[in-house]
């Protein structure tokens, strides 16, 4: 079946630091991959997505590249801000199937 | 941009009571979902709904749960007799093609 594994959190960084949150997956076929973000007290928002191998999703300075050879979709940002503090979820979707989430990674950015 | 709306944002109920969580999906979407997130844990799939019937459900979605799309716009989740362990954030989502669009969630507290 499908599964998503994220790096364990929480992650605490200083403002302007480089961010990487690792995500690997197990799936049949050719899934689409997503990063969702949950700001404090809010719902899940789509941050970025990639629908095929070697695609790079990007939004708000965040990037993730769909790597089929390593079954990974690591989230990166070159310079984080305090406002990036949130929980980040990696997710996988196969057509005809459910969206499967990773465990979530809590990011705290300190000024 | 159209969005998924959920009401109420917070519901407190006593153990054994029935609750109905309401969602208005995006109007031209065809697939509807409920997910839940127990505090501090991962987002878990409950049920998917298409063409006025359940298309998939998880092991969490037992006989205490039911879903309904009564009038072509609302999509409801009913818990017949709530338990303490039902306390969680419940997210509704809808889609036609990927990605899923999520509501802001209803926080259910069972006392």
pLDDT tens digits for range A78-109? 999 999 999 999 999 887 678 899 999 999 99
Distance CA B106, CA A14 (A): 32
> Residue B68 belongs to what H/E stretch?
strand B65-68
At residue A1 the predicted structure's pLDDT band, cuts being 50, 70 and 90, is: confident
Chain A residue whose CA is closest to B44? A101
User: What integer pLDDT is reported at residue B73 of this predicted model?
Assistant: 87
Distance CA B94, CA A22 (A): 27
Q: Residue A68 corresponds to which tokens in the numbers above?
A: 């089929």
Let me know: does B90 contact B105? Beta carbons within 8 Å.
yes
Q: Residue B95 corresponds to which tokens in the numbers above?
A: 């889609």
Beta-bridge partners for B7: B22
Distance CA B51, CA B67 (A): 13
Ranges A26-30, A41-45, A85-89, B57-61: which has the least confidence: A41-45
Question: Is the CB of residue A66 less than 8 Å away from at least one CB of chain B?
Answer: no
Please say if the pLDDT value at position A53 is more than 80.
yes
Count of A-B CB contacts under 8 Å: 49
Distance CA B47, CA B63 (A): 12
B99 vs A46: CB contact, 8 Å cut-off? Answer: yes
Secondary structure tally for chain B: helices H, strands E: 0, 11
Instruction: Please give the average per-residue pLDDT across B32-46, as a whole number.
Output: 91
Q: What is the DSSP string of B78-108?
A: EESS--GGG-EEEEEEEESSSSPEE---EEE
Say which residues have a Cβ less than 8 Å from residue B55's Cβ, sequence separation at least 6: B31, B48, B49
Q: How far is A1 from chain B (nearest CA, A)?
A: 13
Among B111, B103, B109, B92, CA closest to B39: B109
Please say if the pLDDT value at position B41 is more than 90.
no
Q: Residue B77 corresponds to which tokens in the numbers above?
A: 């989740």
Please say if the pLDDT value at position A28 is more than 90.
no
Question: Is the CB of residue B33 less than 8 Å away from at least one CB of chain A?
Answer: yes
Q: How far is CA B15 from the centre of its chain?
A: 19
């Amino acid at each position: 079946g499908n599964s998503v594994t994220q790096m364990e959190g929480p992650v605490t960084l200083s403002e302007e630091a480089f961010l990487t949150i690792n995500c690997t997956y197990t799936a049949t076929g050719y899934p689409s991959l997503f990063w969702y973000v949950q700001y404090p007290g809010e719902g899940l928002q789509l941050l970025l997505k990639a629908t095929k191998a070697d695609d790079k999703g990007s939004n708000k300075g965040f990037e993730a590249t769909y790597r089929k050879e390593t079954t990974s979709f690591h989230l990166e940002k070159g310079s984080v801000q305090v406002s990036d503090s949130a929980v980040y979820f990696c997710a996988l979707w196969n057509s005809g199937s459910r969206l499967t989430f990773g465990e979530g990674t809590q990011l705290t950015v300190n000024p | 941009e159209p969005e998924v709306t959920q009401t109420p944002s917070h519901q407190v109920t006593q153990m054994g009571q029935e609750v109905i969580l309401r969602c208005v999906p995006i109007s031209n979407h065809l697939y509807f979902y409920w997910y839940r997130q127990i505090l501090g844990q991962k987002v878990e799939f409950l049920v998917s709904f298409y063409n006025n019937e359940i298309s998939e459900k998880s092991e969490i979605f037992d006989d205490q749960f039911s879903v309904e799309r009564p009038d072509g716009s609302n999509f409801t989740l009913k818990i017949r007799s709530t338990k303490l362990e039902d306390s969680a954030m419940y997210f509704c989502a809808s889609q036609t093609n990927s990605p899923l669009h999520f509501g802001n969630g209803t926080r259910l507290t069972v006392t």
